[in-house]
């Protein structure tokens, strides 16, 4: 029963689509009562209505992670209604692919505001609820771009590296109260964010062949690791970044030297 989330209250931010939607389903399948939170309230409500569970135990609400008050209000209201908050998963992210010299101040602020400021707001508000109850697990979403980059990914990569450091700092500050903080770093995943890449066969294929598994991930392949980090199976895991990247950051190219089969 180490992976069981029965009686856990879990807030999944970004639950209206992509990885967040898959995480919400995975948590519900493990028995959690899931709050689907998203900027798109209608999408969050749709997902909440589709989750498994007896007696419709799930709920939904709007959240804007760039607004600290919105985050505090949504998570605080959830904890008050349910009596506790056991897990928070923050999945939203945006990217503006441009060379550094072409970036505008507006581009910079957009990416930093959602990815880094938004993750900080979630981390802070979740911790303010979990520290007094002396338990809880917070899962932030970073990226392989926290470790490796390519042209056009400067600000996105910087924010994802910042999320890794936020997870470490949160782990250091909250650990004595029994609150854990970890990050997941996906590789390339088929989501609305990566739709422009999928539309280009050459680009899509190049990314597929970069990983050791030779393919893209599906959103559900990020959901299992998130549910794991929320569960009793991960009680001694904190301050870590779990690379769920199909081996992208493990291998150095795909060339097979002579004599290697």
What tokens were used for 210? 């970069």
C-alpha–C-alpha distance, residues 247 and 236, integer Å: 24
The answer to whether the beta carbons of residues 143 and 101 sit under 8 Å apart is: no
Alpha carbons 37 and 64: distance in angstroms, whole number: 9
Q: What 8-state DSSP symbol labels residue 234? A: G
| Neighbouring residues of 260: CB distance < 8 A, sequence distance ≥ 6 | none
Instruction: Round to whole Å and give the CA distance between 52 and 6.
Output: 12
- Rounded to whole angstroms, how far apart are CA atoms 226 and 242? 9
* 105-112 vs 154-174: helix crossing angle, rounded to 10: 30
Exactly one of 156, 204, 207, 243 is catalytic; name it.
Answer: 156
Rounded Cα gap, residues 181 and 127, in angstroms: 9
- Report the DSSP beta bridge partners of residue 9: 33
Nearby residues of 240 by Cβ (< 8 Å), 6 or more positions away? 167, 171, 182, 183
| DSSP letter, residue 256 | -
Examine the residue annotation and report whether 207 is marked as an active-site residue of this protein: no
Active site residues: 156
């Amino acid at each position: 029963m180490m992976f069981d989330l029965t009686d856990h209250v879990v807030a999944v931010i970004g639950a209206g689509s992509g990885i967040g939607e898959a995480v919400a389903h995975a948590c519900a399948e493990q028995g959690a009562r899931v709050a689907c939170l998203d900027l798109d309230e209608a999408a969050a409500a749709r997902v909440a209505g589709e989750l498994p569970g007896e007696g419709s135990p799930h709920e939904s609400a709007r959240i804007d992670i760039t607004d600290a008050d919105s985050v505090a209000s949504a998570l605080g209201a959830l904890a008050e209604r349910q009596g506790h908050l056991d897990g928070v998963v923050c999945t939203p992210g945006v990217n503006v692919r441009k060379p550094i010299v072409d970036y505008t101040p507006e581009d910079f602020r957009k990416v930093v505001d959602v990815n880094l400021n938004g993750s900080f707001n979630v981390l802070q508000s979740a911790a303010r609820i979990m520290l007094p109850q002396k338990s809880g697990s917070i899962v932030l979403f970073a990226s392989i771009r926290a470790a490796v980059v390519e042209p056009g990914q400067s600000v996105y990569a910087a924010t994802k590296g910042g999320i890794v450091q936020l997870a470490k700092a949160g782990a250091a500050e909250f650990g004595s109260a029994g609150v854990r903080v970890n990050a997941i770093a996906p590789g390339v995943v088929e989501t609305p964010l990566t739709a422009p890449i999928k539309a280009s066969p050459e680009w899509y294929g190049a990314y597929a062949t970069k990983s050791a598994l030779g393919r893209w991930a599906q959103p559900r392949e990020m959901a299992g690791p998130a549910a794991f980090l929320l569960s009793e199976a991960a009680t001694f895991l904190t301050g870590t970044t779990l690379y769920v990247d199909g081996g992208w950051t493990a291998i150095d190219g795909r060339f097979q030297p002579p004599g290697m089969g």
